[in-house]
Each structure stands twice: as C-alpha cells, then as structure tokens.
Chain A
Amino acid sequence: MIVRGQGLTKDLSLDADLCVVGTGAGGAMVAREAARAGLRVVALEEGAHSTARDFTQREDEMLPLLFQDSGARATDDGAIQVLQGRGVGGSTVHNTNLCKRAPDAVLDGWKLDGWRAADLVPHYEVVERDLHVSRLEEGDLNRNNLLLRRGVEKLGWKGALLSHNRRGCTRSGFCELGCAFDAKENALKILVPEAASAGARVYADTRAEQILVENGRAVGVLARALAGDGRPGPRVTVRAQAVCIAGSAVGSARLALQSKLPDPQAAVGRSLRLHPGGAVAGIFDEPVEGWLGIPQSYECTEKLRFDENEANLDRTWIIPAFAHPVGLGNALPGFGAAHMARMRLYPRIAIFVAMLHDRSEGTVSVERGRLHIRYVLNASDQRALLRGMRACAELMFAAGARRVLVPFAQPLELDDPSRLQEIDARGYRPLDPLLTAVHPMGTLPLGRVVDVQGRYLGVQRLWVADGSLFPTSLGGPPQLTIYAAAHKIAGHLIAELRS
C-alpha cells in the first residue's frame, strides 16, 4: 500500500514492527526485506510518489519534483551543488543507473568486521540479480562516451564499459530527469512495489521530524504529512518496535541531530564526504549531441588509485557527464552574449567530469531549524581535483577536441595540449570552478556512530542503512553499495527483531 500524505486531512497514528525513514536505495531495500520476513513495516518518505508518466523530460518541471530543495541544495558557501533525490525511490529515480561495486581496497581499508570486500559479495549478488544489473554493450555508447573511450585508447589509459540496472531502455537520454519509459530497475520500480506487495505501508509526502526514544530505546517516529506546496499538514505518529533511518547522508544526519540522539563521540553529522566533481568541456568539429543516448556508459580509471599515501594525487574517477540545456548552461563559464555564443556550440560539446575520492571532511548540522552543509576542500584534495580536471582536458584533446573550456570564474579556454598546466596554475578557490556532488556519504559512519551490524550506538532498536554509514568516500558511484549494505543490515535487523 502506498499512501499519498497530501490526502491526509487529520492526524494519524500507526503501529508497526519497523518504521523505515526514507525509501531510496537503502530504505526501500530494508522495507522489502523486513516485509518479506513477515514484519509489519511502515516506510516514510518526505517526497512524492511519482511514476513514469510523471517524468516529462523537462528540467524546470523535474527539478522541483525529484530533487531536494528543487535542485538548489548546495554547501553553505555555494561552492558545491549537492544534488540529492527526493521522493519515493530517492536518488535512484534520477541517477544514471551506474552499478559499480566498491573497490576492494576501500572496503578492506575500513578494517571493519563483516565489511571486507569478500563479506559484501553475497549482498552485491542479490542486488545485481534482483535489479537486473548487467554490463552495457558496445551499442550503448553514445557519442559523448565514445569520445571518452577514444581519448582513453589514444593515450593508452585504463577505461571500461560500465554496468547498469536498466531493462527496456529506449536510450532517450533523459535518465537524470526520471525515466518516462520505466526502464530503470530501481527502488521505485522494483523494491518499493515488492515491499508494498509484502504488506509494507509506504507513506509519501510524509516528513519524519523526530525519532522517538524512550528509556534508551527507539519506539517510533514523529512525522508530518506535507501539502502540495510543501507546507506541513497533519501529524503522523508511528509507534514501532524498531526504527531504521535511511534518509541519505544529509537527511539521516539531520534527523539524528533534530532528534537529539546520543552522540558521545560528537561524530554525528561529521566526516561528510561529497565525492565532488569538476567538469571540463571539449568543443569538437564533429557532432556530439550528448543529450542523445545513455549518458554514462564508459569510465576512465587511469587517475584513480586507492593507496592512502598522502602523496597520492591520482584520486579522480573520470566519466562523461552531459546535461540538458539548463545544466549545461551552469557548466559553461561566463555570462551574457559570450555565454550564449558558447551555448550555441551545444551539439558539438562533450563534457567529462573528474569526481574526487575526497579525504576532506565536511559537516551536516541543524541550526535554528535550518540545514547547513559545510565542506571545504583541503589542499591535497584541491591539487588532486585539478589534476583530474587536467586529465579530462588531456582526454578531450586526445579525442580530437578543437578547444577545451575549463569553467573557472575567469574562463580558461585552451586551444592546445601544451597549455594543460595552466589548469593547475589557476589553483582552486570556492566557486572557482563550480563543483557538483551527487554522491554524499559519511555523517553516521560505521565504527563511530553505528556498529558493524548497523545499530546506532547508544540507542537500542535503532538502525541506519544508507550512504551515511560509509567511513570514507567509495571513490565511485555508491548506489550498488548502499543497496548491498542495506541488504546486509536488514538481515541483522530481522534476526534481532525475531529473537
């Protein structure tokens, strides 16, 4: 059963064995597993329940529908746009279906019992089976991705086709605005309906505001149904034997802080990793038309190493990252007539992005009821990011770009690879260049806020099952690992509730 909170006209009280907060990759997985195990599950989701017919492929309509803060969420200094999903299915609705296991070196580096690479394999296998993950094929590469591969091959660098969870894909190219053809095998299409079929009650437009704790034990959640314009409506009170938070690295930390949960190590909301990306545009003589076809199907891992050595600056994952007109406009530097002249090059522009396996740690906090995301790139990360952006530019030239644009505040336009060092020479300062983050992680990390079974330390019967668990960046897209981690934690949770 999926209930739209907008339809509620009076306060509501619910009883459950388990209340899950959030219905993205983590929450939907826990809700499905728990419901299938026979538990009475209530899942709360602050965003709407949309389906394929709601996805209009238009940026101005999809930003408010699918993203937190209508796509306007950013770090406090505005330096990093933080794109996070909002709605049933969470970020799995707008992501580009990248399914990549976390590198062994990252998982093993955590040195946490039960979280070594080998321990997660069975959970990855379940996710990959249930969400129909498969390696993309040659014909899935659009021109933007073909250019990345061409650059990789020309330079003799490391690159590969990616795996995705999509079936029946029409290659329309509008993945990041929700799939109008329902080809995403994600939380919205697969897990939430399966949870509902197994008896879970899912409340959309219902924002969790406080975890209820009595005598050191989680006993439920206080929430508010939201009206169509987002204003709070009737109260929804869920009394439950257990609670699982899965509202994302930002949302889960926010809820923990609002609820004033115990935090003896003062670690809640800290150690935020953003996996920020810096984009580089290449202008080609040939048509690229990057908005057509699957947006991200090929990766370059030449500049991605996971050794923890301080001197390691090869910490960026390079992928194509094309956008529709509004998104592209933000990626291109300058304004006015000069900016519009660049926009007219749209069909011949390719974009690669360098996503940083960051070591900088930011914070999520709530002050006077307002959310704050603070994050400052440390010096090592700044150098590593610029090094990755330079690699993007090098790949562009190798692929045949006539010119390369780097979106610094004072636009940097390169016409020859001999000028690549100018990228490093510019240095980094906030908003110069503008960065984007689509993979927030950390904030309730395993080993510090949560134990290795996903239990919140200091509150009984409270679990966490989303990207906030990860003690470090994964260095790649986290969705598959969030699904797998939630599957693992669901097993612990069910066993404990049954006992």
Chain B
Amino acid sequence: MNRRRFLRTTLFGGALLSAAAIVGRHLSGYHLDAATAQKLKALSPKEYLVLSAVARRLLAPDAADAPDPDTLEVALFVDRYLYGLDEGLRSDVRALLHLVEHGSGPFRLGLTRFTHMTTAEQDRTLTDWAESSLTVRRQGFQALKSLALLGYYRHDRTWPLLGYSGPTLKRGPT
C-alpha cells in the first residue's frame, strides 16, 4: 500500500470509527442486572456487556473442561483492573468498546452491533480487527485480547488446563 492510499484509508477508517463511537454512546437497549451493575467501578453497564461478549469469543473454550469466561467473572476483573489505570488509558479502553460495538458492522457493510451478531459473525469481526490494514484496529484487538487473557488465566481454575503447576507459594483458590 502506498503512502497516499494508507493515509486515505487511515483517515476514512479513523473518521468512521470516531463517528461510530460518538453515536454508540447514545444508543440504548443494554440491560445488566442491578447487582452486577453496582459492582462496576470503571465501566458503564453497556461497556461491561460489550466486554463480556468480546471476552466470550476471545476466550472461547476448545473443550468442555475449560471454564467459560463468565463463570470466572473475566469482565468484572477487567473492570477492577481498569479502575487502577490512569484516566487516559481507561478512557481509551472505554472508547474502544464502543468502537467494537458500533464500528465493526460498517467495516462488513452492515449495521449490526457486535453484541447482536452471531458467534460466527463475532469471530469474523474479531479476525477483521486482528488482521486489519488499520493499525488502530490491530491495536484495539491486541488491547482487548491482553485484558481478556489477564482476566482468564489469572484464575487458578484455568491452570490445570495448561499443565501449569502455579506459584510455589501456595494459598487458597482464587
């Protein structure tokens, strides 16, 4: 890709993503139970639901013995982790979640929100992000992957899957 085309693509992509993020913040239709919503420190209920949907695909089990990310409260852990980051980084991640939710469809010539897609569509969407020609999308994918992995593999219930013996300092379960 030459420089001019790259810039055009980046500018177009960036504008599209920004617009999607702005619009997305004002759309409704997200319901989270009150008990979970009360626990959130960094994310809004909508952002939490998007993150949960993303985590389910990023951490989709390959076999029945793998605990699912909801059981391990991956999104709730990520919320607490984000709360410890500085405001700038936290805002970046929140904006990213809106982009994934509302900015993914247009790249596939559709308007479906990420949370409303089938799992196959969600996987294709995440692959698009991972392999995109736009650095900002690859960056977004990597950020979400890192957060999801931290929330999942921190948990000692996942370690037997890996054959990982865990810390030498033993204590009770996570």
Interface residues of A (CB under 8 A from B): 56-60, 63-64, 69-70, 72, 77-79, 170, 172-174, 180, 229-230, 289, 291-292, 324-326, 329-330, 334-341, 343-344, 346-347, 370, 409-410, 429-432, 434
Contacts and interface: CB of A to CB of B under 8 A. Distances in A.
B52 to A, nearest CB: 15
A77 B66 contact: no
Given A229-B84, A340-B62, A344-B62, A174 B162 contact: no
Interface string B78-93: 0001001110110000
Nearest to A59: B154
B62 A338 contact: yes
Interface stretch (B13-21, B31-39, B102-110, B131-139): B131-139
Contact of B158 (A325, A334, A431): A325
30 contacts: A59-B150, A60-B154, A64-B81, A69-B85, A69-B89, A77-B136, A78-B143, A79-B135, A79-B139, A172-B168, A174-B168, A180-B168, A230-B86, A325-B158, A326-B149, A326-B154, A330-B145, A330-B146, A335-B59, A335-B126, A335-B130, A335-B145, A337-B62, A338-B62, A340-B60, A340-B161, A344-B161, A346-B163, A409-B131, A432-B138
B167 A174 contact: yes
B9 to A, nearest CB: 13
A230 B84 contact: yes
Given A69-B86, A326-B153, A335-B130, 16 more contacts: A56-B169, A57-B167, A58-B167, A60-B77, A70-B84, A72-B146, A170-B168, A173-B168, A174-B168, A330-B145, A335-B60, A336-B60, A340-B60, A429-B135, A430-B139, A434-B142
Contacts of A330: 145-146, 149
Given A69-B89, A410-B131, A344 B162 contact: yes
Contacts of A172: 168
> SS class of chain A's interface: helix, strand, loop or mixed?
loop
Secondary structure call for the B interface: helix
Given A60-B81, A409-B131, A410-B131, A78 B142 contact: yes
A370 B87 CA distance: 10
B58 to A, nearest CB: 5
Given A70-B85, A335-B58, A325 B164 contact: yes
Contact of B135 (A63, A289, A344, A431): A431
B57 interface: yes
Nearest to B119: A336
A291 B146 CA distance: 20
Contacts of B60: 335-337, 340
Contacts of B165: 289, 291-292
Nearest to B155: A60
A243 B167 CA distance: 41
A70 B81 contact: yes
A12 to B, nearest CB: 24
Nearest to A292: B165
Given A57-B168, A78-B142, A330-B146, A343 B161 contact: yes
